[in-house]
Amino acid sequence: MKNHIIVVLLISLVSCTNSYWSDGITTEINLPNHVSQISATVIIEQGAIGFSALVSASSSLDSQTGPDVIEDAVISVMSGDNTLYNLDANHFDSRSLLYNSSLSSLVSIPNDIPNGQIDLIVSSSNYEEVYATSYMPEKPSPVINYSPEVEVDSLYDGSLLEITDQIELSLLNNLDLDESYLVEINAFFLDVQSQEIEQRNLDIYSQDPRVRELNINSNSSDMDDEYNSRYSLISDETVSNIYNGLENITFFITRDEKPSYYEFQYMICRISSLSPSLAEHYNSVDSYLNQSGSPFAEPDLMYSNISSGFGCFGMMNTYEEQLN
Amino acid sequence: MRYSFFLFTIVLSLTVQAQKNFTLSGHVQDESSGEQLIGATIYAKEVNTGVGSNIYGFYSLTLPANSYTILVSFIGYNTQTFEIDLTKNIRKDFNLTAGLTLKEAIVTGEEFNRIEDQVQMSKVEIPIDQIKRLPAIGGEVDLLKALQLMPGVQSGGEGSSGLYVRGGSPDQNLILLDGVPLYNVSHLFGFFSVFNADAVRNISITKGGFPARFGGRLSSIVEIHMKDGDMRDYHVDGTVSLISSKLTVEGPIVRDKASFMISGRRTYIDLLLNPLIQNSANNDPNITVDPRYYFYDLNGKLNWKISPSDRIYFSFFNGLDDFGINFSENLEESSLNLDLGLDWGNKVQSLRWNHEWSPRLFSNLSLIRSKYNFNTGADATYGFLEPNTNLSASARYAALYVSQIEDIGAKLDFDFSPNSRHYIKYGINYTNHTFLPGVDSSFATFSIEGAPLDTVYSSSGGAVETKSDEIFGYFEDEFEVFDGLNVNLGMHAAALFVDDTSYISLQPRVSFNYKLSQDYALKLSYAKMSQFVHLLSNEGVGQLPTDLWVPATRNVKPQLSKQVALGIAKTFGDIELSIEGYYKSMDGLLSYREGADFMFSADSSWVDQVTQGIGNSYGAEFLLQKKKGKISGWIGYTLSWSNRQFDEINSGLWYPFTYDRRHDLSLVLNHKINDFWDLGLVFVYGTGRSLTLTESSFETYVLDQSGENIIPIIGQVPSSKNAYRLSPYHRLDISLTKSKLLETGQRDLIFSAYNVYNNVNPFFALIREDENGNAVLREFGLFPIIPSIAWRFKF
């Protein structure tokens, strides 16, 4: 709240004084010659049907088109000497501009990544090869206590939204590992008119210091519609030395008002454990997007674990539980 | 061991020599007001020896028994000559009359305490009268902006009153108001300082060669002394300008015994701008926008001469900035009222007791309290009328954020003059610091038909209050080694105790002054400094009231510096020339990590947002200064480099400090045309500050909440840190003052223009595309040409 107040007041002050200089004066800047590097982002979810990889070339600020997608990349995912996946131009989807591991496969096979170090190698004819490592985290085994709010006046989280339900999570805290978890709640409704099941993602909040709320809006000009997502990210960073440091984390769940012909069926809680690189990636993207656009913030480089390039190679393992 | 022996030798020689000498001591003051004069020269012509009065106007001159011609002089006053038969200790107060007799200014008394005679180097003083004649934005004279015109002292940019001294940052300046440190010295986000020139008697800045009595900051000591109050007559001074008005009243409570001074200032920007803002925002009759901004400061002092040997001073300062906006919308079925506000301010008090234990021993005991706090809050109320049932409901949410730092302390200082060859200072200081980096609290309530419905919930969180104790002791001796070589040698020992951690720092200090000839002196100094507090501040923006003062802790170590300076000094008539070179290394510097949000809600995790590193700065300064005469002013030029290195920033590589300004030039001129007209002119030029720019971009993604779709993100690749520069900063300010001397006093009408040739000096810059699609840098300025008029009166 303090941050918003300060920004509003500062902007109002500056705007009172800058009308004379609204266009500014132009100074030429001599940008150095840019050598394009591969940007590769590969996120693999255990048990999901395939994964998508985004491979593009970095571009100079002067570029009219921005980063160009690379269509002839070769993407190898390996466990030791075993090749788990090998994607090439045959896996490239020209509509989504992504490499899809299940694109040229007739059978849908869930991802089954073994334990241990997993390597990523991405190469393309015109660019220097890039490399990254990650590992598949353990599937979470949480204890979830769900408390629907029967009466209106039981709980409140400090925001202006009406609160209905509460869940309390407890997770094991492995003192030897850096652990992070994404939490989301999906509600399922039956449309009585169409007899179809509708899924809605619910907004959840927490004031627990172990939880960070992320707001990620796409800033790509290729997106026709504004696309954004809110996440709740649990991190053991502040409790890394505490054995039971991830117990009793409380979330408040809000439900938007639905039409009367929607019948609530059930809710599903999804908790995804993230590899450290993937958690760092989500945090970094959130920080980056929230700072960009400010005239006083310095440009900051997003996290990358891709050597000689940009992007992220990360993994996630998801647990789901139906809440009754 | 060697140092202990050396110290013993000094003390022994003092004891031996003291037995043959007698002491002339007392105070030097203004004849008409009784105001103590700081740095006046008391000089014995026959032995070519003299001393200066201390910050309380006290002097002590010990000489062998004999008859002497004593010359007493001070800039802006007529030199006086007295014949003294020093066959016993004599106590004599000297009363000087104000005046500018050029011939008398070049008598022998003035020749003693010239810049080439002083051991202290890297120190500049600007007479208050000269500052008041400088052109000023909106007609509001500013003391810190005048210091920014000195070589080695830079401003942070357009409108900033922060001081960047020899490559240091604003938190590295110890700003003392009557001996009490102030933490935030800015009004209006740094556009003005909190110092009212009408309440101030003297201002100086020491940039290097720090004597042992000072400590706690790395880069500079700014000493500001308030007026004591006229002991003899009542005076009223006032100024009305476009931005603010101020009034100073001083006078005797008991003539020649006790006096008071009180000075207040308030801006009325809100009264002038609010109607314009409201008019433009309130086109919708259902909407009301009511902004507010004002600042005020109040200085006061009581001065009581209890006896010839005892004097008590009580000083206080209160300042406040209040900034806010109220928005309300009233519709048929709903209403919203939103009030946002932030305020910040200082409260300072000091009680001091001067005592003359003997003609050679003077002491000052001070009790001090300094508090700075910053508050921001929001209060929103929403009302709703359900059209079908006519049921009314309302919700209210309020939040408050408080941050503060408070110092309570005591210090005891001694001045001891055993003989004419030694001038010793020693003392001890204790301060208890209380830091509260930031505490949030909020509550919300819902009601229907006025009756509470949902539970009121209040949450609080934030940083734990941290207390620390800081103690320091010092000893320094300024003495003549042999004819022509004078030394100030001292030791400053400081300790900080915080939580379960302690830091101890021994800081040797030494300054040499060697007369190469009658007119030239070679100066050399070395100073080690430590600083136990840090200011969390965003370099790109400069100082803001939201900046947080935090202590050194177990995980965040103190800052340290070592500075060596070499220079020459010479006086040509009434013109002083100083050329200095310096090198300063710094350790324990604090910076936000890359990607850290400088506007985060600081709680116990501020330690996780910062990283520590090292820095260096070096350069050369040139100053040609004329302090009196019909034409006065100075030319200052600095050539400097300032760099930083943090392991977690810029891949651990060295990079230029944001305020690394290669060239900095100031030209200041006051011309008293005649008894009625004064012309003031200021021209400044400085290399643009450095900045980091985006050089390229790449694409990445995250998965949405379902895990099935991607959200593409375009990321930027920045240049190496501070690899680029903004355009140079330069501007010209002019003022013209018309004075009218009346029987009842004086009236001045001041016409001034800031940025006369309307240069766009960059305040911030953004990368944009030009018409050809090429990336260009657009620089935006803040202040165009600003003419102003002010009216000043005194009686």
Q: Do A295 and B764 make contact, defined as CB atoms within 8 angstroms?
A: yes
Q: Do B781 and A32 make contact, defined as CB atoms within 8 angstroms?
A: no
For residue B125, list its beta bridge partners.
B204
From chain A, the residues in CB contact with B541 under 8 A are 296
Q: Which domains does chain B have, with CATH numbers?
A: 2-113 (2.60.40.1120), 124-689+726-794 (2.40.170.20)
Would you list the DSSP string of B657-674? Answer: -TT--SEEEEEEEEEE-S
Report d(CA B362, CA B308) in Å as an integer: 12
Q: Which of A95-104, B402-411, B661-670 has the lowest average pLDDT?
A: A95-104
Q: What is the pLDDT of residue B109?
A: 40
Q: Do A45 and B377 make contact, defined as CB atoms within 8 angstroms?
A: no
Q: Look at B628 and A136; give whichever has higher pLDDT.
A: A136
Q: Which two tokens stand for residue A128?
A: 């220097």
Q: Do B700 and A231 make contact, defined as CB atoms within 8 angstroms?
A: no
This complex has an ipTM of 0.86
Most trustworthy range by pLDDT among A236-245, B260-269, B310-319: B310-319
pLDDT at A120 over 70: yes
- 3-class state of residue B207 by DSSP: coil
Confidence band of B392 (pLDDT split at 50, 70, 90): confident
pLDDT at B431 over 90: yes
Half-sphere exposure of A27 (CA within 13 A, CB side): 20
CATH number of the domain at A143-274, out of 1.10.10, 1.10.730, 2.60.40, 1.10.238? 2.60.40
Report d(CA A34, CA B46) in Å as an integer: 75
Most trustworthy range by pLDDT among A21-30, A111-120, A141-150: A111-120
Q: Do B766 and A16 make contact, defined as CB atoms within 8 angstroms?
A: no
Q: Say which DSSP state B693 is in.
A: -
Sheet with A117-124: strands ordered across? A82-87, A74-79, A117-124, A127-135
With CA atoms as reference, report the closest residue to B530 among B550, B500, B510, B507. B507
Confidence band of A107 (pLDDT split at 50, 70, 90): low
Note whether A38-135 and A143-274 share their fold. Answer: yes
Closest-CA distance of chain A to residue B173, Å = 24
- Residues 6 or more apart whose Cβ sits within 8 Å of residue A217: A226, A227, A228, A289, B711
Q: Do A31 and B713 make contact, defined as CB atoms within 8 angstroms?
A: no
Q: What is the pLDDT of residue A158?
A: 46
Q: Do A301 and B594 make contact, defined as CB atoms within 8 angstroms?
A: yes
From chain A, the residues in CB contact with B724 under 8 A are 29
Chain B residue with the nearest C-alpha to that of A26: B778
Confidence band of B194 (pLDDT split at 50, 70, 90): confident
- 3-class state of residue B582 by DSSP: strand
Q: Do B325 and A154 make contact, defined as CB atoms within 8 angstroms?
A: no
Q: What is the pLDDT of residue B440?
A: 62
Of A39, A218, A298, the CB nearest to B540: A298
pLDDT at B546 over 50: yes
Which of A10, A29, A100 is the best residue to mutate to test the B interface, defined by the most B CB atoms within 10 Å of its own CB? A29
Q: What is the pLDDT of residue B16?
A: 46
Domain spans of chain A, in order of start: 38-135, 143-274
Report d(CA A187, CA A204) in Å as an integer: 12
Q: What is the pLDDT of residue B421?
A: 85
Closest-CA distance of chain A to residue B398, Å = 10
Q: Do A207 and B291 make contact, defined as CB atoms within 8 angstroms?
A: no
Average pLDDT over residues B701-724: 86
Q: What is the pLDDT of residue A8?
A: 45
Confidence band of A259 (pLDDT split at 50, 70, 90): low
| CA B705, chain centre distance (Å) | 51
pLDDT at B18 over 80: no
Closest-CA distance of chain B to residue A116, Å = 23
With CA atoms as reference, report the closest residue to B640 among B153, B209, B170, B121. B153
CA distances in angstroms from B237 to B198, B199, B240, listed in the order given: 7, 10, 11
From chain B, the residues in CB contact with A311 under 8 A are 698, 700
From chain A, the residues in CB contact with B277 under 8 A are 16
Model confidence over A50-98: pLDDT tens digits? 899 999 999 987 777 788 899 999 999 999 999 999 999 999 998 889 9
Closest-CA distance of chain B to residue A193, Å = 25
Chain A residue with the nearest C-alpha to that of B599: A3
Q: Look at B246 and A154; give whichever has higher pLDDT.
A: B246
pLDDT at B398 over 80: no
Model confidence over B96-123: pLDDT tens digits? 998 754 433 333 344 556 888 889 999 9
Q: What is the pLDDT of residue B452?
A: 53
Q: Are B522 and B516 in contact, with CB atoms under 8 Å apart?
A: yes
| CA B9, chain centre distance (Å) | 39
Q: What is the pLDDT of residue B693?
A: 84
Q: What is the pLDDT of residue A245?
A: 87
Q: What is the pLDDT of residue B331?
A: 81
Confidence band of A12 (pLDDT split at 50, 70, 90): very low
For residue B73, list its beta bridge partners.
B41
Closest-CA distance of chain B to residue A168, Å = 19
Q: Do B716 and A41 make contact, defined as CB atoms within 8 angstroms?
A: no
With CA atoms as reference, report the closest residue to B557 among B599, B518, B610, B506. B610
Exposure letters B715-749 (e unless 16+ CB within 10 A, then b)? bbbbbebbbbbbbebebbbbbbbebeeeeeeeebe
From chain B, the residues in CB contact with A183 under 8 A are none
Average pLDDT over residues A168-181: 88
Model confidence over B283-326: pLDDT tens digits? 677 778 888 888 999 999 999 999 989 999 999 999 999 888 88
Chain A residue with the nearest C-alpha to that of B377: A2
Closest-CA distance of chain B to residue A238, Å = 9
Of A58, A201, A218, the CB nearest to B698: A58
Of A67, A160, A238, the CB nearest to B698: A67
Model confidence over B441-478: pLDDT tens digits? 666 666 666 555 554 444 455 556 889 999 999 999 99
From chain B, the residues in CB contact with A5 under 8 A are 340-342, 376-378
Confidence band of B479 (pLDDT split at 50, 70, 90): very high
Give the H or E element holding residue B294: strand B287-307
Q: Do A297 and B395 make contact, defined as CB atoms within 8 angstroms?
A: no
CA distances in angstroms from B271 to B96, B268, B581, B651, listed in the order given: 44, 5, 48, 50
Chain B residue with the nearest C-alpha to that of A41: B700
With CA atoms as reference, report the closest residue to B185 among B311, B345, B62. B345
- Chain position carrying tokens 């108001």: B177
Q: Look at A264 and B315; give whichever has higher pLDDT.
A: B315
Q: What is the mean pLDDT of chain B?
A: 86
Q: How many CB pairs under 8 A join A and B?
A: 257
pLDDT at A22 over 60: no
Closest-CA distance of chain A to residue B41, Å = 48
Model confidence over A246-256: pLDDT tens digits? 999 988 887 66
Residues making up chain A, counted from first to last = 324
Report d(CA B651, CA B613) in Å as an integer: 12
Confidence band of B732 (pLDDT split at 50, 70, 90): very high
- Residues 6 or more apart whose Cβ sits within 8 Å of residue A279: A178, A180, A233, A235, A314
Of B378, B703, B782, the CB nearest to A17: B782
Average pLDDT over residues B20-39: 90
From chain A, the residues in CB contact with B778 under 8 A are 23-27
Average pLDDT over residues B674-695: 91
Average pLDDT over residues A14-21: 45
Of B291, B710, B777, the CB nearest to A27: B777
Q: Which two tokens stand for residue B722?
A: 């501070």
Q: Write the secondary structure of chain A as one string of H (helix), E (strand) and C (coil).
A: CHHHHHHHHHHHHHHHHCHHHCCCEEEECCCCCCCCCEEEEEEEEECCECCEEEEEECEECCCCCCCEECCCCEEEEEECCEEEEEECHHHEECCCCEEECCCCCCCCCECCCCCCEEEEEEEECCEEEEEEEEECCCCCCCEEEEEECCCCCCCCCCCCCCCCEEEEEECCCCCCCCCEEEEEEEEEEEECCCCEEEEEEEEEECCCCCEEEEEEECCCCCCCCCCEEEEEEEECHHHCCCCCCCCCEEEEEECCCCCCCEEEEEEEEEEEEECHHHHHHHHHHHHHHHHCCCCCCCCCCCCCCCECCEEEEEEEEEEEEEEC
Model confidence over B327-385: pLDDT tens digits? 888 887 888 888 888 888 999 999 999 999 999 999 999 999 999 988 888 888 888 77
CB atoms within 10 A of CB A255: 18
- Residues 6 or more apart whose Cβ sits within 8 Å of residue A213: A205, A206, A230, A231, A232, A233
Q: Which two tokens stand for residue B345?
A: 């301010």
Q: Do B696 and A288 make contact, defined as CB atoms within 8 angstroms?
A: no
Q: Which of B46-55, B328-337, B524-533 has the lowest average pLDDT?
A: B328-337
Instruction: State phi, psi for A174 to the nearest 5 degrees.
Output: -80, 110
Q: Do A157 and B457 make contact, defined as CB atoms within 8 angstroms?
A: yes
Q: Which two tokens stand for residue A171?
A: 């997770």
Q: Do A16 and B273 make contact, defined as CB atoms within 8 angstroms?
A: yes
Q: Are B411 and B368 in contact, with CB atoms under 8 Å apart?
A: yes
Q: Do B457 and A156 make contact, defined as CB atoms within 8 angstroms?
A: yes
From chain A, the residues in CB contact with B766 under 8 A are 24, 295
Q: Do B778 and A153 make contact, defined as CB atoms within 8 angstroms?
A: no
Q: Do A12 and B764 make contact, defined as CB atoms within 8 angstroms?
A: no
For residue B684, list its beta bridge partners.
B666, B731
- Residues 6 or more apart whose Cβ sits within 8 Å of residue A39: A54, A55, A56, A57, A58, A67, A306, A309, A310, A311, B698, B699, B700
Q: Do B714 and A66 make contact, defined as CB atoms within 8 angstroms?
A: yes
Model confidence over B571-609: pLDDT tens digits? 888 899 999 999 999 999 998 877 665 444 434 466 777
pLDDT at B159 over 70: no
Closest-CA distance of chain A to residue B718, Å = 6
Q: What is the pLDDT of residue B768?
A: 78
Q: Which two tokens stand for residue B475?
A: 């000893």
From chain B, the residues in CB contact with A220 under 8 A are 699, 712-714
The identity of residue B503, as a single letter, is: Y
Q: What is the pLDDT of residue B628?
A: 80
Confidence band of A35 (pLDDT split at 50, 70, 90): confident
Q: Which of A289-298, B37-46, B124-133, B168-177 has the lowest average pLDDT?
A: A289-298
- 3-class state of residue B538 by DSSP: coil
Chain A residue with the nearest C-alpha to that of B693: A299
With CA atoms as reference, report the closest residue to B690 among B649, B657, B644. B657
Q: Do A2 and B605 make contact, defined as CB atoms within 8 angstroms?
A: no
Closest-CA distance of chain A to residue B202, Å = 33
From chain A, the residues in CB contact with B691 under 8 A are 298
Strand-strand pairing, B94-96 and B192-193? unpaired
Q: Do B780 and A24 make contact, defined as CB atoms within 8 angstroms?
A: yes
From chain A, the residues in CB contact with B782 under 8 A are 17-18, 21
What percentage of chain A reaches a pLDDT higher than 70?
80
CATH code for the domain defined by A38-135: 2.60.40
Q: What is the pLDDT of residue B603?
A: 42
CB atoms within 10 A of CB B400: 18
Give the H or E element holding residue B275: helix B269-281
Report d(CA A324, CA A311) in Å as an integer: 39
Q: What is the pLDDT of residue B413?
A: 97
Q: Do B595 and A288 make contact, defined as CB atoms within 8 angstroms?
A: yes
Q: What is the pLDDT of residue B784?
A: 85
Q: What is the pLDDT of residue B716?
A: 86
Which of B601, B689, B705 is the best residue to mutate to test the A interface, defined by the most A CB atoms within 10 Å of its own CB? B705
Q: Are B440 and A207 in contact, with CB atoms under 8 Å apart?
A: no
From chain A, the residues in CB contact with B705 under 8 A are 184, 201, 229-231
pLDDT at B92 over 80: yes
